[in-house]
Structure 1
Amino acid sequence: MDFAHSARTVDYLARVTDFMRTEIDPIEPEYHRALAAADDPWTVLPVITDLKKKARDAGLWNLFLPDVEYGGAGLSNVEYAPLAERMGRSFIAPEIFNCNAPDTGNSEVLVKYGTDAQRDKWLKPLLDGEIRSAFCMTEPEVASSDATNMAATATMDGDHVVLNGRKWFSTGIGHPNCAFTIFMGVTDPSAHKYQQHSMVLVPLDSPGVKVERMLPVFGRHDEPYGHGEVSFTDVRLPADAVLAGPGRGFEIAQGRLGPGRIHHCMRLIGLAENALELACQRATARTAFGKPLANLGGNRERIAKARIAIDQARLFVLSTAWKLDTQGLAGARSEVSAIKAAVPPMALDVIDMAIQLHGGAGMTDDFPLAAAYAGARALRLADGPDEVHLGLVARAELGRYA
């Protein structure tokens, strides 16, 4: 592959970087303070709405989506990856550019598997930034690392589908503009294990849908997005709410995860870059025992190893993105799992090093490191824990010798 950025990436990266430097970075600390002080933090502050309009007017909108006909920028995974990294340095930039998960994955699902009617109802307002969405797959009562354990049901009943079950860690469900979720459940338990499940588009105001609680992650609720526990009790919807037809849930899930993992990993690399930058600033500006922190306790080696680890991870993800672009998920399946297993631990190590250099301050909200650590740790489990991905990589590797 050619590691040089395309002309389109160079252009977009310069524009995204400039927008973040001039519009987002100056207001983000105050934004977080204002949200924390709000009577109801599950709200969209006016500054976010204003910045979204500015980003859209600047042509920095839906950059993740390769499909130009739906309003995307036409970028490949390799071209978009550096933009995701730059956005990953901020907690609010992905929404401002309309590139935040799980909306990105849900949009890609609707583009690839949705009907015209489903796209008109859900995709258009999602890509216009008018609504947000969630994804309901993980369950509290079973080991969700093995999706075949799923207990929730999506039962076909004539011209309807009936949903029952309980989901949790449904990211985005707390957003005040969240209008729908994609629910995955068992439709035919007698079918092949990868043809038993269906995905269903569920309006959040459907009778029988209840957000039971918002889940704290390391004491943080990640307002206004959040991770919720949601119950579905005899939720009856028209059969045309099923995506691509009954039994295709696993197929859709696999098609959804390839680009999504590229996005996750590149945002994490941006998060790690920001942590390293803060670490270096701290290490050179603070002194202890008569020396800069950088010259104490092996900190130079820690900083050097962080730089090496970040650059290794970036090249690995870009290589995987190139393979996904040129060979599809079938040709990049092992690499997509490998980066998901490799990048979150790398980011955690870098962020932890930065926290250590900041001392007690690193654990407070005076710096973004504690929130970054919580987010990176959660991503080691999101879209499958390390063990699942390492098992897939091992199977592919050992398969060469079968």
Structure 2
Amino acid sequence: MTFNHLPPEVSELRERTRRFIREVVIDAEPAPGERLDQATRDRLQAAARDAGVFAPHVPKEYGGQGVSIEHWSPVLQEAGYSPIGPSALNCMAPDEGNMHLLNVIATEEQKQRYLVPLAAGDIRSCFGMTEPHPGAGSDPAALRTKAVRTVGGWIVNGHKRFTSGAVGAGLCIVMARTSAGDGSPEGATMFLVDMANPGIRVGEAIHTIDRSIDGGHPHLYLKDCFVSDEAVLGEVGLGFRYAQVRLGPARLTHCMRWLGLAHRSLDIALDRAGRRELFGGPVDSLGLAQNLIADSVIDIETSDAIIAKTAALLHTDPKAGSAMSSIAKVHCSEAIFRVVDRAIQICGGDGVSSGLPLAQYLNEVRPFRIYDGPNETHKWAIARRASANRGTALKTGERYLGDAVVGGDGGE
């Protein structure tokens, strides 16, 4: 894959990241099924700072490399070539999405208090939106956590779950339902809650098959949690709108990172297929293996193309980019899973053993079809938008004729 269109400084950062992952990070990877320990994480992050590859997505004034969103993909793909690469570079979920949200929405005071230490890797963060049924999950409008005005601030009560990164985090961005008042609409509001606040508590762990996100995916409880007015992120009542600021790019950066792991998986399979002989020749000379390899190359290239299109839209038209990110999320999460699964098939018995990391890679990418919204929910939204867009086109006089679309006033 080539990135000839990149500005020189981004191309150089991509190359530095590529070398750093291969020369420093891969040797530090934990065994399949184990998590990255804090000491190794701190050591790798220090090395990433020294290598000039740390926090590529964060503006330079807040301690990052200052890469614009339309150029994130080449760098994050290189980071994702190792499952711990994004943690080493401090561009892993949920921190990366929270940093982007803070950069776009937060006041300068909030940025100094939260974005600067997040970008430096001094603290981690989590995002509290998903709730136990019948609360917010696939349908954010079902939000049940509530925040009520009080003297000098707000009292928040609620129960979150799948709060990725909560264990050991210093900050949680909490989504809570708020009533109309003082000129603000009824809706949801985002609050910046310090995890040291006595009103917030990390609860029981949820044991999942993935291991790459620091801090797991536990329950989170808020009971009479007081936060000041200065803890409101953005404007009261506009939380659902701000969620799209975060979720569109966050879906896409998942695609970028996991596409890097798909590259790694295919490389492992290609190396094995080129060395191993079967039926009188190398495996990669067999038609069935070639079909698996070709399908994986196609999945990787189409995923890269849709990521690039979506990233460009997020840069120029965030609303359209957010809608396109649903399409990218569905396509990439399924295509990347197929690539890893085919790599396992090519590697045979070793593919499902701990002798290769592929089985763990499958565990890492499988939840992405559920995280950030189940693919079925995204498909429902995609279909609704397609029908609505077609309805709008028909109202303007556009109609379908054979294999061409013509205007209502045009000749046939």
Q: SS in structure 2 opposite 1:260? A: helix
Deviations 1:248-301 (A, max 9, x none): 211110111232222111112111111111111222323455554435571210
In structure 2, what is the equivalent of residue 4 of structure 1? 5
- Which residue in the other structure is 1:355 paired with? 344
Partner of 1:79: 71
TM, length-normalised to structure 2: 0.87
Q: What does residue 177 of structure 2 align with?
A: 186
Seen in structure 2, the aligned counterparts of structure 1 residues 124 and 190 have a Cα distance that, compared at 3 Å, is closer
CA distance in 2, matches of 1:256, 1:168: 19
Contact 1:221 1:227 survives alignment (8 Å): no
Deviation at 1:195, TM superposition (A): 4.8
Given that residues 156 and 239 in structure 1 are in contact (C-alpha distance below 8 angstroms), is that contact kept between their aligned partners in structure 2? no
Letter in 1 for 2:7: S
Seen in structure 2, the aligned counterparts of structure 1 residues 356 and 190 have a Cα distance that, compared at 3 Å, is: farther
- The alpha-carbon distance between structure 1 residues 397 and 100, as it changes in their structure 2 partners (threshold 3 A), is same
User: Cα deviations across residues 23-81 of structure 1 (Å, max 9, x unaligned)?
Assistant: 112232xx447x94xxxx68502x3322212211222122112x333233232223221
Alignment match, 1:397? 386
Deviation per CA, 1:76-102, whole angstroms, max 9, x where unpaired? 223221001111111211121121111
2:41 is matched with which residue?
Answer: 48
How far, CA to CA, are the matches of 1:399 and 1:127 in structure 2? 40
Q: Please point out which of 194, 199, 204 is paired with 1:213.
A: 204
1:398 is aligned with what amino acid? S
Q: Which amino acid aligns with 1:44?
A: Q
The aligned residue for residue 99 of structure 2 is 107
Deviation track 1:309-364 (CA, whole Å, cap 9, x = no partner) reads 11111011112212222x32123233221101110000111111112223343233
Using the TM superposition, give the Cα deviation of residue 245 of structure 1 relative to its aligned residue in structure 2, in angstroms: 3.1
Q: Equivalents in 1 of 2:283, 2:36: separation in Å?
A: 39
Distance in 1 between residues matched to 2:381 and 2:255, nearest whole Å? 18
Question: Residue 338 of structure 2: SS of its match in structure 1?
Answer: helix
* 1:232 Cα deviation from its structure 2 partner: 1.5
Which deviates more from structure 2 when the two are superposed, residues 267-276 or residues 371-380? 371-380
Ranges in structure 2 where 5+ consecutive residues have no aligned partner? 392-412
Contact 2:83/2:261 (CA < 8 Å) preserved in 1?
no
> 1:153, 1:187 within 8 Å by CA — same for their partners in 2?
yes
Which AA in structure 2 matches 1:265?
A: C
Shift in alpha-carbon separation, 1:92–1:120, aligned structure 2, 3 A: same
SS of the counterpart of 1:206? coil
List aligned pairs for 1:230-309, cutoff 5 A.
230-288=220-278, 291-295=281-285, 298-309=288-299
Taking every aligned residue pair, what percent have the same amino acid on both sides? 32
Deviation at 1:223, TM superposition (A): 6.8
TM-score normalized by the length of structure 1? 0.89
Tell me the equivalent position of 2:329.
Answer: 340
Change in CA separation of 1:233 and 1:363 when aligned onto 2, cut-off 3 Å: farther
Tell me how far 1:190 sits from its aligned partner: 10
Mark the runs of 5 or more structure 1 residues left unpaired by the alignment: none
Distance across 2 between alignment mates of 1:79 and 1:221: 27
SS in 2 for 1:25: helix
Q: Kindly indicate whether residue 195 of structure 2 is the aligned counterpart of residue 204 of structure 1.
A: yes
2:81 pairs with one of 76, 89, 109: 89
Residue in structure 1 matching 2:304, options 311, 314, 318: 314
CA shift at 1:128, angstroms? 1.2
Could you tell me which amino acid in structure 1 is paired with residue 343 of structure 2?
A
Partners of 1:305 and 1:88 lie apart in 2 by: 21
Aligned to 2:394: none
- Tell whether the 8 Å contact from 2:99 to 2:115 is kept in structure 1 after alignment: yes
Contact preservation (8 Å) 2:92, 2:213 = no
The CA distance in 2 between the partners of 1:43 and 1:195, in whole Å, is 43
Contact 2:86–2:257 under 8 Å retained in 1:
no
SS in 1 for 2:218: strand
Structure 1 distance, partners of 2:279, 2:36, is 45
CA separation in 2, counterparts of 1:290 and 1:188?
Answer: 73
- 1:386 matched to 2:379? The reply is no
Counterpart of 1:130 in 2: which secondary structure? Answer: coil
Q: Tell me which structure has the larger Cα radius of gyration.
A: 2
CA distance in 2, matches of 1:291, 1:53: 46
Q: Tell me the residue number matched to 2:404.
A: none
Asked whether the equivalents of residues 211 and 364 of structure 2 are also in contact (C-alpha less than 8 Å), the reply is no
Matched, 1:130 2:122: yes
- The secondary structure found in structure 1 opposite 2:6 is coil
CA shift digits 1:114-151 (9 cap, x unpaired): 22332222111111111111111111222611100111
Which amino acid in 2 is paired with 1:298? L
Pair 43,301 (structure 1): closer, same or farther in 2 beyond 3 Å: closer
SS in 2 for 1:64: coil
1:61 maps onto 2:54 in alignment:
yes
Contact 1:173 1:228 in 2 (8 A): yes
Report the residue type matching 2:337 in the other structure: L
For residue 400 of structure 1, give the secondary structure of its aligned residue in structure 2: helix
Structure 1 residues 98-118: Cα deviation after superposition (integer angstroms, max 9, x where no partner): 211111111122222222332
- Counterpart Cα distance in 1 of 2:213 and 2:318: 33
Greater mean alpha carbon deviation, residues 352-361 or residues 122-131: 352-361
Could you tell me which of 363, 372, 377 is aligned with 2:361? 372
How many residues matched? 388
Residues 190 and 156 from structure 1, CA distance in 2 versus in 1: closer, same or farther, beyond 3 angstroms?
Answer: closer
SS state at 1:263 partner: helix
SS of the equivalent of 1:197 reads strand
Cα distance in 1 for residues equivalent to 2:308 and 2:129: 28
State the distance in 2 between where 1:195 and 1:149 align.
14
